[in-house]
Structure 1
Amino acid sequence: MKDTMNHPSSAIDYLYVDNLSWLRQLIYRRMGCNELAADLAQDTFLRLLRKPQEFDSQEGIRAWLSRVAQGLCVDHWRHQEVERTWLETLAAQPEDHALSAEQQAILVETIYELDSMLSRLPEKIMQTFLLSQLHGKTYREISSEMGISERTVKNYMAKAMSLCLRVQLELETSQ
């Protein structure tokens, strides 16, 4: 398999033809929708095109495809949850606070981007970031609540902010 990876288009063609049906079936069993399975399978192969991998065996290929597809399924479920929560929040708002369809779309996209960014953070760093940015707590309050030093809170926040900047750069360069 390694030799075929030296010629990406032929390797990708081979991987795609040989594994697409299997991957779509795997995703369908998890998601229960043919159209969604097709979309997520395509997204899985797009990841492979963006970041080529070397594989030693068919099992290695399928393990990688399965792992990436599982991540995409989780992302899809998380987006559904964000959207459901957003719609419930919208329904609870008084009419005079209603957002236009365009404002709603922008806000939902921003929420998806934030969720994607936060899901990349280790749990304690994400918790620190949310306590600071969402709940407005001071570093001292976070330190006390989480049972860590203020210095650790500062380090966690620096890591979270660094990731925010990297994600922002990724988004800007992909557009």
Structure 2
Amino acid sequence: MPIKSMYVTYSDSIYQFIYFLVGDDELAKDLTQETFLKAINSNPQFRGESSEKTWLSKIARNLVYDHFRRKRLLKFIPFLHEHEQIDYTYSPEQWLEAKNEQYELYEALGKLPHHYREAIVLRKIEQFSIKESAQILGWNEAKVKNATERGMKKMNELLGGERDA
């Protein structure tokens, strides 16, 4: 698939993935653009061993790490909520309750160690398979499964044990 088609198909998903890791809208936009620029420059390296989305996600993850290494900030920033849209089909009370619950989830996710957060974002939010997540993270499948399970358990603890893991 040409890069332009990949951009149209995957840019929103790649942006969201990066945003969950960095928590900054402008930085996520910049890194999303860098991801596709890097893909253009390395397109001959795509061998079809994984899906295009998996390949792009791995590039994105590496760019996030490179950014934080350059800044000597290999930690992850708590989530911001500027990108979220209001769903006007809710009553004000329902909307407020949903926003509070989202905030609690984002806050708990933001408190997790980065390896747990990455596993949860890929598996539970981005819906990658264990195999695809392992390819993106450069881990074996057992490590992805363990990090996801332990991360969900830790999130559950942070949320006061109120939600199912």
Q: TM-score range by the shorter chain?
A: 0.3 to 0.5
More helix by share: 1
TM-score (norm 1): 0.44
| TM-score, normalization by structure 2 | 0.46
